[in-house]
Structure 1
Amino acid sequence: MKTRTLLYKEVQRPQPFIWLVFLSLAALMWYSFIYQILLGNQFGSKPASDATVIVFWVILGVAFPLILLKWTKLIVEVHEDGLYIRFMPFHLQYKKFLYKDIKDCKSIKFSPLTRFGGWGFRVNFKGETGYISSGKQGIELTLKYQTVVISATNPDELIKAMDIKNVL
């Protein structure tokens, strides 16, 4: 198996306010689980069944917070043949953007909320794809048939690492 030379690596975690949203939702699920299942009271004016409360508690109260806090991260790597990204735990393999397929690359400042409707793996109405974990800066790759935006904590260093190959 051929090994690639790593020229640059950046690992991004979700922004703290996203954690706050998920942890608030998790807290509500824990409260409803304790109140309805453990204490035997009805939660709300139109309570869900116990099975529904348990399912929502497992998914939104346990699984999502663990996934968000423990495993969610965006890994951006520059190798001699291109840019590789992986949005864990959603991508099983790295997504490759080979230099031969990149027409242009530039550092940008953008609003994830207005351009893509939020953070994560996104596609907007213009057909642009976004891999956004944190911050308001990143790089914009112009490929043959699409535009890709990748958040970066240090976009200039990322572009500099890509320029080492002098292929852009």
Structure 2
Amino acid sequence: MICTVTVLNFTSTPEAFSTAEIIFGIIILALIAILIFIARLETIIDEQGIRARFFPFHINFRYFPWRSIKKINVRTYAPLQEYGGWGIRGFFGRGKAYNIKGNKGIQLLLNDEKHLLIGTQKPQEAENVLNYYTNNGFPTGNQL
């Protein structure tokens, strides 16, 4: 709505945009809206490790084997304060975050001391699965 009002405002001035420029702007805005609409964060936790994909920005899953994870837990976080918002984030020296909405996530501390937070809408389910693998031991014996 704001974009439409802005385009109409610019077209009423003597230095109006050409039709091609307006169409190009609308196409760019539509593509951004489509990307936001189809974006989804997929997480798989199994006996091999954790896989995460932020579609359509990641075509393939990012793989984090258990042996590469030093510490892991489900936690509540502040998306704006800690990571500057939602999406693929890596600002403010707090590590990287993949999140779409909400304030719950799976926090990983990797063996190379890098931090990664993967947002989740199913924190209890994620915690149950992580507890299952913790209680049954990781292949490397890492403690959570």
| Residues 96-129 of structure 1: per-residue CA shift (max 9 Å, x gap) | 1110100001121111001011100000221500
Residue 76 of structure 1 and its aligned partner are, at CA, apart by 0.9
CA RMSD in angstroms, aligned pairs only: 2.3
CA distance in 2, matches of 1:68, 1:150: 18
Q: TM-score, normalised by structure 2?
A: 0.81
- Does 1:100 pair with 2:39? no
Give identity over the alignment, percent.
24
Match of 1:121, as an amino acid?
A: I
Q: Residue in 2 aligned with 1:161? A: 129
Please say if residues 73 and 87 of structure 1, whose CA atoms lie closer than 8 Å, have aligned partners that are also in contact.
Answer: yes
Amino acid paired to 1:50:
T
Deviation at 1:48, TM superposition (A): 3.2
Cα displacement (A) at 1:137: 1.2
Cα deviation digits, residues 27-83 of structure 1 (max 9, x gap): 3444566x48xxxx82457543332221110010x22222222x2110111122011
2:117 aligned partner? 149
C-alpha distance in 1, partners of 2:129/2:73?
13
* Unmatched 5+ stretches in structure 1: 1-26
**Secondary structure in structure 2 of the residue aligned to 1:142:** strand
Relative contact order (alpha carbons < 8 A, sep ≥ 6): 1 or 2 greater?
A: 1
1-side partners of 2:60 and 2:106: how far apart? 21
Please say if 1:57 is aligned against 2:11.
Answer: no
Structure 2: give runs of 5+ residues left out of the alignment: none
Q: Offset of 1:160 from its aligned partner?
A: 2.5
The 1:116–1:29 alpha-carbon spacing in structure 2 relative to 1, beyond 3 Å, is same
Runs of 4+ in 1 over 6 A off after TM superposition: none
